[in-house]
Structure 1
């Protein structure tokens, strides 16, 4: 119980440390307390004047969302709130700084739609023309007034290309009002991470900015140009095409075609409980029927018995988290990402848009603390998983288990979380902690199953010889029966689709596997397909509509534009964006080549 109390206290203030009485010199401690009391008494009685202290340095911190701003402000005591224009500003002290925290509400600039070629002047060298997003003028004005009050401005937007572009835009807008602007970066919203980020600011990464500009301009050019073609052909102004959404739509259509094709399977269990089933798949019904009718007894033969170690799965990256949430709860991608966004902004998980499974030293420490207390030190097995770099896996920021977090919510000690937030947190917590636990030792049987003229080999875990990560992620074991089995009353034959419709999670994993899309865009791609009426969702499955099929088939029939809407084009462009991000390619050259290609297509299309 005391260990749980410690974890709860640390949830609210991670700097608190507990020590046993044997480690503390109570006599010295009481002397220090008495000294402080005497100083206070002398001050109150006018016998001592307070010494002059250095004035706190006012620092403006700009984040993307009000939620995150409130969370950060509360780390440093009760914040004072005031309004500057129409915008809320929270003020508190942190060490030698008086910090003022506010939010930009995401992007403040976007490409102009009227100037040049869809917002880009192309006279030798592409020059994107940005303007303040409609409705954001008052926010910009308030931020400028706030910047005038500060000695330093720290832009603390998300640690990815989108966040870097927002930060760059804000710095350009605020420079005339305060030239002392730095980039502040953190990957988890905790007091320790924020304090460290305030001290370790950096310059803006222009390569990340250029990569985002390239992505935005490429999406604008391809989207606007070929959406016009669609709108003209179908007479519907809301239709759109895109370098990512169109190939993904094609996958969904192809999967539905396979879903409508039937295959047949004959299956039977080889254990008492009926959980361990062996099956044969047939392309045609006649072959399946013949096999089914002739099947009465099967032979299960033991080929090998061995012990093996099985490691836990890695912690979540974005695609793996989306897949797990889709499988467990049939949640859509936007829903899962919105839940994760809240968990991140309120300080419960690390940044949730990441391709990485890397675990930082601090993350390993979080796992060690929990695993040692809950299961014993022998269960802890540190793993870094991914390669080094700035980004990390998705993990809990503190060693507090889901039930404890739920209790804090129910007791009203923390706010802003729903049952669904807790379900997602539980998935993230268990997956991460399991990734830092020892492997399990299994007894595995290799079996040969013979049925009529067919046979297949299966490997079956039958016993857990040593516990490990299965304490958090259960592993199934079976009790197969050996010898001759009568399956005449336990066999069945059924038809099923050749392939099942995509779920949200499966589609994301397909995008990652094929090199299309990024953690920051997975959800918006599917959301746009549904919004345009190209795809509908039914019980978590994605189904193409007639409109979606017509649009895709039309674009596929136009040889002039087909190249731009195929996955190979998008994959190559994504690779180039990665190179721009790393400083290995010039985004200007890529845009010039893309512009020339699109203009060449324009000449071939009468409608454009």
Structure 2
């Protein structure tokens, strides 16, 4: 290992050639926040050249001692943070200089950033900073950090995909223009109106007092407010779901009948007078029907589905989940984790085959059923890179056979275990079960002796696992013995009355899933969007209700944005724009025409001038 300034460079011999491997640490350039010098006509760091052409102006990225990111014109002269006054501690200019020093020592430079639009833009920047010192620069792409994948990438370099770079430029300009223009309105115009309302209110609730203190401290503007084209519709979903949740409070009977556990809603017209007066239930089980069925496995994980399961099963916030996934990818344990594809490559199928043959021996053929799932293309599902389950991986690390470059926590193993088992299930045969469906007729007996008909409730249960198939690896089917037909009297010890909500609140998991289903956001931004809503104090997590609730500030921000700029931040408009940006990636739509269209739209809303 050698050091070039801030860069650590590792030397790896692959026989026919030697690689010097280093990491840029992500972006080396970012869109600047201001172009105030030199009389340049600009819009939030995007210069307007001759003929009305737009030129995004990028600069190196600085960070101060307090963590603020600064990207300004003439950045070399900036010694203190313009936000807080703290000294500048890091600057990607030093990374650029180190990359050039390394490039001078080699015959060829291969740039292997992430295989998406953001990664292509980072690659574009790196290629251009090293070209002056080394003309032999190529792009390589791999979807897993394994020796096989990296050697294959090194032996098959490609040129930069400029359509992907243009698509990322459009996204960045669009995020900047919409984000900065709307955020500035929130931080001043909205904030003043919000504070007038809060300070004139007679309400003494603690949430109002908290906002009143903020308003007294920040009278004219408040920087911790932001808006965005995806962030705003997602905030609207949370608010709308919360209102439906509040209106859905229902009285349930939680009933245990043998191995069957049911939550049965009491019809509204039958709730009066029985809330505390039920002494027993009469339950008639009838119309039992048995059938033998095949149950197919779920597909392997994509970004949205893995975040859904990590959130719901492991209770991790999406931002932390993405961090764990990134680390597992960098360690070479899983394939690239920012993907919408369920496609399984031949290599992936071979991983599943080898694992099943190892643990099942002669029974492997009964379980292994290779599936491609998604269509062809470069991107693949999220899967393990080796036929090693979580338990075996832990043992190999403890024995020193596998030596990861970072500490592996229990959370890493838990996430890896989910991915491994889900993938193995996706390459397995269907399960065969015997399912029972039936009807329950319910009657409540009150302490007065009155009998109240509670209606009927259907149920179904798997009573026998005839062949476990995929369920051996990823358990989603549970066997329960159903009650036989007949009349049952259920005492108080086997049921309870419970008030709860039929409409659940949004969770981290459900928001990510809805973004995927409604084509809003991208795999690389799902977690960040949700995290931003929490950082801005627009929403909070209610542990008592197991979901996300809007805060007063979030409700007022959403009301302000939709009442004034509804056409700009609507769900449909955001979805259409996402599709257009995908068309830029495919080379079907011109980058400049989309930027021009966006400018006209923002001008119509009086957010930007021509």
Q: Could you say whether these structures have the same fold, taking a TM-score greater than 0.5 normalized by the shorter chain as the test?
A: yes
Check the 8 A contact 2:280/2:489 in 1, yes or no: no
Counterpart for residue 321 of structure 1:
306
- In the other structure, the counterpart of 2:394 is 406
Q: Deviations over 1:113-155 (max 9, x none)?
A: 2231112223522221222222100100111121122211111
Q: In 1, Cα distance between the equivalents of 2:331 and 2:389?
A: 16
- SS of 1:461's equivalent in the other structure is strand
- What pairs with 1:105-124 in structure 2 (closer than 5 Å)? 105-115=25-35, 116-122=42-48, 123-124=51-52
Tell me the CA shift for residue 295 of structure 1: 7.6
**1:101 maps onto 2:21 in alignment:** yes
Q: Is the 8 A contact 1:207 1:582 kept in 2?
A: yes
- Offset at residue 261 of structure 1 (A): 2.9
Matched residues in 2 for 1:380 and 1:603: separation?
58
Query: 1:280–1:199: structure 2 CA closer, same or farther, 3 Å change rule?
Result: same
Asked if the contact 1:155/1:171 (under 8 Å) is kept, the reply is: yes
Deviations 1:159-206 (CA, angstroms, capped at 9, x unpaired): 111111100111122211112111100000001111111001111111
2:436 equivalent to 1:445: yes
Deviation digits for residues 486-540 of structure 1 (CA, Å, limit 9, x no counterpart): 2353343321124232221111111112211111001111111112222223547
1:543 aligned partner: 549
Indicate yes or no: 2:487 matched with 1:484. Answer: yes
5+ residue gaps, structure 1: 1-80
Is 1:332 aligned with 2:317?
yes
**Residues 245-300 of structure 1: CA distance to partner in whole angstroms, max 9, x if unpaired?**
11111112222223333422433546413x43252354578369489959832222
Any idea what the Cα deviations from partners look like across 1:353-404, whole Å, max 9, x if unmatched? 1111111100000001111221222211111111111111111100111111
Whether the 8 Å contact between 1:337 and 1:523 is mirrored in structure 2 is yes
* Alpha-carbon separation, structure 2, partners of 1:110 and 1:151: 29
Contact kept, 8 Å, 1:256 with 1:544, in 2: the verdict is yes
2:582 matches 1:578? yes
Deviation at 1:587, TM superposition (A): 2.0
Aligned to 1:465: 466
Contact 2:285 2:441 in 1 (8 A): yes
Asked whether the equivalents of residues 258 and 497 of structure 1 are also in contact (C-alpha less than 8 Å), the reply is: no
Is the CA contact (8 Å cut-off) linking 2:181 and 2:607 kept in structure 1? no
Structure 2 CA distance for partners of 1:455 and 1:282, relative to 1, 3 Å: closer
Deviation at 1:437, TM superposition (A): 1.2
2:415 matched to 1:424?
yes
Task: Give the structure 2 partner of residue 257 of structure 1.
Answer: 243
User: Quick check: 1:85 aligned with 2:5?
Assistant: yes
Question: How many pairs are equivalent?
Answer: 523
What SS class does the counterpart of residue 335 from structure 2 fall into?
coil
The residue aligned with 2:114 is 158
The 3 A distance-change label for structure 1 pair 317 and 604 is closer
Q: 1:603 to 1:386 in 2, by over 3 A?
A: closer
Q: 1:36 is matched with which residue?
A: none
Deviations 1:223-258 (A, max 9, x none): 011111111121212311111111111112222223
Per the alignment, residue 54 of structure 1 pairs with: none
Distance 1:196 1:97, change over 3 A: same
Residues 265, 288 of structure 1: 8 Å contact kept: no
What SS does structure 2 have at the residue aligned with 1:157? coil
SS of alignment partner, residue 43 of structure 2: coil
Mapping for residues 300-379 of structure 1, pairs under 5 Å: 300-375=285-360, 376-377=363-364, 378-379=366-367
Contact 1:318–1:354 (CA<8 Å) still a contact in 2?
yes
* Residue 604 to residue 163, structure 1, CA distance change in 2 (3 Å): closer
**More displaced stretch, 124-133 vs 420-429:** 124-133
Match of 1:28 in 2: none
In the TM superposition, 1:19-168 aligns within 5 A as: 81-115=1-35, 116-122=42-48, 123-134=51-62, 135-168=91-124
Q: Which residue of 1 aligns with 2:425?
A: 434
SS at match of 1:353: coil
Aligned to 1:247: 233
Pairwise CA RMSD of aligned residues? 2.3
Q: Does residue 456 of structure 2 align to residue 455 of structure 1?
A: yes
Cα separation, partners in 2 of 1:82 and 1:296, compared to 1, 3 Å:
closer
What's the secondary structure of 2:271's corresponding residue? helix
Task: Give the 3 Å change call, closer, same or farther, for CA 105–598 of structure 1 in structure 2.
Answer: same
Q: Post-superposition shift, 1:84?
A: 2.2
- Classify the secondary structure of the residue corresponding to 1:487: strand
**Contact 1:344 / 1:351 at 8 angstroms: preserved in 2?**
yes
| SS of corresponding position for 2:605 | helix
1:393 paired with 2:385, answer no
Q: Is the 8 A contact 1:369 1:399 kept in 2?
A: yes
1:277 to 2:262 alignment: yes
> Normalised by the size of structure 2, how large is the TM-score?
0.82
3-state SS of paired residue (1:478): coil
Which residue of structure 2 lines up, in the alignment, with residue 506 of structure 1?
A: 510
Q: Tell me, what secondary structure is at the counterpart of 2:428?
A: coil
User: Relative to structure 2, which stretch is displaced further, 186-195 or 287-296?
Assistant: 287-296
Q: How many Å separate the matches in 2 of 1:453 and 1:147?
A: 77
Rounded to whole Å, the distance in 1 between the matches of 2:33 and 2:284 is 70
Q: Which moved more, 1:206-215 or 1:534-543?
A: 534-543
TM-score (norm 1): 0.82
> Counterparts of 2:372 and 2:489 in 1: how far apart (Å)?
49
Partner of 1:602, secondary structure, is: coil
Q: Deviations over 1:458-512 (max 9, x none)?
A: 3321111112112122221211112222235334332112423222111111111
Within the candidate set 550, 558, 562, 1:556 is matched to 562
- In structure 1, the residue corresponding to 2:601 is in which secondary structure? helix
Which position in structure 1 is the counterpart of 2:370? 382
Q: Name the CA shift for 1:179/1:287 in 2 (closer, same or farther; >3 Å).
A: farther
